[in-house]
Amino acid sequence: MQYVKLGSSSLSVSRICLGTMTFGQQNTEAEGHEQMDFAFGEGVNFFDTAEMYPIPSRKETQGSTETIIGTWMKRRGVRDKIVLASKITGPSPAMQHIRNPLDFSRKHIHEALDASLARLQTDYIDLYQLHWPERRMNMFGKRGFEYDPSDPWQDNFAEVLGILQALVQDGKIRYIGLSNEAPWGIMRVLHLSETLGLPRPVSIQNPYSLLNRLFEVGLAEIAIREQVGLLAYSPLGFGVLSGKYARGDDSPAARLNLFRQYARYSGETAQAATLEYLRIADEFGFAPAQMALAFVNSRPFVASNIIGATTIEQLRENIASIDIALSPQVVEAIESVHRRMPDPAP
């Protein structure tokens, strides 16, 4: 395993991060523990979760992912050996079973964090992230920003950072991060952090894969120059880049068969691009998933690649991508497809 310092923090994290949003829905507690045992044994020391997990978020299962991680840490006694990341849910009409309203007020940040700490059976979270912004913006498959004059949000970043600063001082969180954020948002937060002496984000968790490289347009330079490492999520585009759907190797229990509402990476252009990437993997003798993950691993702005799996076999293949180096010829073949079909699944 390879390790890097996460942004400007003192945290040393594995280049592969275990994503856990299937725990409690597609994976049982025993299966979640098995995945964490295997990943930890392979040198993965970085686990990412969220209060809203598993997905799809439902009242009946919300929070069970953190509970499963908590029982694993308690039984294994490895809390001091892992870097634990979680998130507070941003505004969403579909998730008011978590809290109503969903916002980043002092009351609700404290409620969310204390509930996560209880489920995780720990006194602190290493990286606490704002899952998505309070303001209305382009995310989750929306390519361009459209100004909405009816958006009630007013710039409260300084207030939110002040609340998080107190929690850092209390020892409940060590560092903060952003997620599903845009260039303006991250630069605004960095400016306030520096001018007001408030906590500085050390990471940004956004989508990044062969099917969605929009991070490169406005955020990659920020990530490098400001030391805010990308935690790349959906690096396989919900499993699409593994080739199992295109080749008919998927099972009824595969995510996109269970939850057809997650169609972000299944559009016509995305399917066409996927076939091109599968062809390149075949030509150069790679498993498609490993080639796709190795590409993400190689990007200089990526701090850690968040992989997810429902089986140990998938997890073994995904973690092994850390040992794959793509030749210039492979990278050029990938770039050729990207030039013809840039970001087919924003």
| Active site positions, annotated | 53
Q: Which of 190, 205, 197 is nearest to 235 (CA)?
A: 205
Q: Which of 85, 122, 120 is nearest to 9 (CA)?
A: 85
Calpha distance 228→250 (Å, rounded) = 36
* Cβ atoms 81, 41 nearer than 8 A: no
Q: Cβ contacts of residue 6 below 8 Å, gap of 6+?
A: 12, 13, 83, 127, 175, 202, 203, 229, 303, 304
Alpha helices in 152-267 (DSSP H): 157-169, 183-196, 215-218, 220-225, 255-258
The DSSP bridge partners found for residue 173 are 125
Calpha distance 322→314 (Å, rounded) = 14
In sign, the C-alpha dihedral spanning 274, 278, 284, 285 is: positive
Q: Which two tokens stand for residue 16?
A: 């592969």
Q: Cβ contacts of residue 199 below 8 Å, gap of 6+?
A: 161, 164, 165, 168, 175, 176, 193
* Cβ atoms 36, 323 nearer than 8 A: no
Calpha distance 87→70 (Å, rounded) = 15
